[in-house]
Amino acid sequence: MPPFVRTVGELTMYGTRFREHVSSGYSWSHGDVTLKVRLIVAEALGLPLEQVRPETTFVELESC
* pTM of the complete model: 0.69
Digit-coded pLDDT (tens) for 19-59: 776 777 777 788 888 888 898 889 899 999 899 999 998 88
Q: Look at residue 36 in the predicted model and tell me its pLDDT.
A: 86
Digit-coded pLDDT (tens) for 10-20: 877 787 777 77
The answer to whether the beta carbons of residues 49 and 42 sit under 8 Å apart is yes
